[in-house]
């Protein structure tokens, strides 16, 4: 899949396509329905399929501390879209210029002059342009003038409820990973590169792999039973902490640390995927490192017990 970093990188070869636009946070079953429609129309018209996303997400730009936590990082989104067979991903920087662009100017600059779209597929609730002026009816009207077609994809439901990123965030906060998997169409994972941390876990006798989340907040927080894959691992048992490490840092930026059970392997610089299976407890601040270590060892024992119960 080709990544186009900004409108300024569009070239004549990029003109003529079938496109969709949205946040696509989670690339869940609802998104997958839109993307399947996109690919179907692209194949019918023998044109490339293009997904348009904003970075940062508009709500992150407007109110970063109040924006909903991301289900996935941009890298995870890229890989999910690539796996689904999308041809191109156009990443547009969200800034003051874009914020103040009217819906009509957005259609002209992006869809018409930039991409030369022949067909636009939208989710049923997508809005765009200044003050969210643009909707399906608006873009269909613009299409009749500018020479392209547009349609929406019906809402996807699961277990009688609408599949949405908002609902998935709620489910993850409740640690209902079975329902999250049904809504996403796959188990919930966080993937990323292992980086050097403060080596505190190693000094306590419980070394951890630290991952950069590339988001201000994660959609879950606490201590979890996990399975780790990648870097030569295949569903290795582990216990993970997602949060702000209050005993050590007391920061506001989310971190992920995972301790592998019965494994001694260097993961620095490698990409791994952490699959969440069960929540053990909330993250909390301890009075001392000794108390922190005692609780980590208890978490490890509880993780072994959980896996033993699953295997029994």
* CATH code 1.10.3720.10 for 187-311: no
Contact in structure between 8 and 164 (CB atoms under 8 Å): no
Greater model confidence, 264 or 72: 72
Q: How many CA atoms lie within 13 A of 174 on its CB side?
A: 11
Q: What is the mean pLDDT of residues 70-96?
A: 96
User: Residue 31 has what pLDDT?
Assistant: 96
Please give the class, per CATH, of domain 2-156.
alpha beta
The per-residue DSSP string of 52-82 comes to EEEES-HHHHH-TTTSPPPSS-HHHHHHHHH
Same fold yes or no, 2-156 and 187-311: no
Given the structure tokens 């809005």, which residue do they identify? 127
Q: Domain limits of the chain?
A: 2-156, 187-311
CA–CA dist 18, 81 (Å, integer): 15
CA–CA dist 305, 229 (Å, integer): 21
Structure tokens at 33: 């329905």
CA–CA dist 48, 180 (Å, integer): 31
How much is the mean pLDDT over the chain?
Answer: 90
Structure tokens at 39: 């690919």
Q: Report the predicted TM-score, pTM, of the whole model to 2 decimal places.
A: 0.91
Q: What pLDDT, in 10s, does the model give residues 18-35?
A: 999 999 999 999 999 999
Say if residue 221 is preceded by a cis peptide, omega within 30 of 0. no
The model's confidence at residue 131, banded by pLDDT at 50, 70 and 90, is: confident
């Amino acid at each position: 899949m080709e990544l186009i970093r900004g409108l300024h990188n569009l070239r004549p070869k990029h003109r003529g396509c079938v496109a969709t636009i949205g946040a696509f946070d989670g690339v869940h079953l609802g998104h997958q329905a839109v993307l399947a429609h996109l690919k179907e129309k692209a194949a019918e018209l023998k044109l490339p399929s293009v997904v348009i996303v904003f970075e940062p997400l508009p709500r992150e730009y407007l109110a970063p501390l109040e924006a909903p936590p991301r289900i996935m990082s941009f890298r995870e989104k890229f890989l999910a879209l690539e796996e689904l067979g999308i041809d191109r991903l156009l990443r547009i920087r969200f800034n003051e210029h874009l914020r103040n662009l009217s819906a009509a100017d957005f259609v002209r600059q992006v869809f018409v002059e930039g991409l030369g779209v022949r067909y636009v597929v939208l989710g049923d609730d997508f809005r765009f342009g200044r003050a969210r002026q643009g909707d399906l009816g608006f873009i269909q009207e613009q299409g009749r003038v500018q020479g392209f077609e547009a349609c929406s994809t019906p809402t996807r439901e699961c277990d009688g409820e609408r599949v949405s990123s908002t609902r998935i965030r709620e489910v993850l906060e409740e640690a209902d990973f079975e329902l999250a998997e049904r809504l996403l169409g796959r188990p919930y994972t966080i993937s990323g590169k292992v980086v050097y941390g403060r080596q505190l876990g190693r000094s306590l006798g419980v070394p951890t792999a630290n991952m950069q989340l590339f988001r201000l907040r994660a959609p879950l927080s606490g201590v979890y039973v996990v399975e780790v894959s990648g870097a030569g691992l295949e569903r290795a048992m582990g216990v993970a902490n997602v949060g702000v490490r209050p005993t050590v840092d007391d920061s506001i930026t989310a971190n992920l640390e995972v301790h592998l059970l019965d494994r001694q392997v260097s993961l620095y610089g490698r990409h791994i995927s952490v699959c969440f299976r069960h929540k053990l407890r909330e993250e909390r601040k301890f009075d001392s490192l000794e108390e922190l270590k005692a609780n980590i060892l208890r978490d490890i024992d509880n993780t072994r017990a959980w896996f033993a119960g699953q295997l029994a």
